[in-house]
C-alpha cells in the first residue's frame, strides 16, 4: 500500500537514495570519529570515539543489509548493539580501579614521607 500518487517504483528509488545518503553520512561520521580518537587528549575522548565508531559500524551493517536484502546481517547488528554496552561499563570499571590504586599509592607515599 502506497500513498496517493506514489508508485512502488518511486518509493524504491527514494529508499535507495535515502540508503545511499545514510551511507555517505555514516562514512563521514566514521572519519570524524577517527580524527577524534587520534586527537583526543583524554582517555575518555578515545572511549567516546570507540563507542561512536561501534555505533557507526552498526549503522553501516543495517544500511548495507537493507540495500542487499540480507536479513541475517540485521541479526549481526542486533548482537553488536547488545555487546556495545559492555565496552563503556568495562572501561569505567577498569578506570575506577586504576584511580583507587593511584590514590592508595599516593596515601602510602605520603605516610612514608611523614615518617621521615
Distances (CA, A) of 59 to 9, 46, 109: 25, 20, 49
16 against 106, higher pLDDT: 16
Write out pLDDT tens, residues 23-64.
Answer: 999 999 999 988 888 887 887 788 888 888 889 999 999 999
- The structure's pTM equals 0.68
Nearest-angstrom CA–CA distance, 82 and 92: 18
Q: What is the mean pLDDT of the chain?
A: 82
3 against 52, higher pLDDT: 52
- The domain segmentation of the chain, as residue ranges, is 8-84
**Mean pLDDT value of segment 78-87:** 84
pLDDT > 90: what percent of the chain? 26
Amino acid at each position: 500500500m502506497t500513498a496517493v500518487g506514489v508508485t512502488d517504483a518511486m518509493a524504491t528509488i527514494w529508499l535507495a537514495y535515502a540508503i545511499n545518503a545514510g551511507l555517505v553520512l555514516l562514512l563521514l561520521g566514521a572519519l570524524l570519529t577517527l580524527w577524534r580518537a587520534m586527537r583526543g587528549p583524554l582517555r575518555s575522548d578515545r572511549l567516546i570515539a570507540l563507542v561512536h565508531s561501534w555505533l557507526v559500524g552498526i549503522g553501516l551493517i543495517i544500511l548495507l543489509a537493507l540495500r542487499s536484502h540480507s536479513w541475517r546481517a540485521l541479526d549481526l547488528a542486533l548482537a553488536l548493539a547488545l555487546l556495545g554496552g559492555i565496552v563503556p561499563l568495562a572501561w569505567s570499571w577498569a578506570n575506577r580501579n586504576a584511580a583507587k590504586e593511584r590514590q592508595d599509592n599516593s596515601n602510602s607515599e605520603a605516610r612514608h614521607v611523614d615518617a621521615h
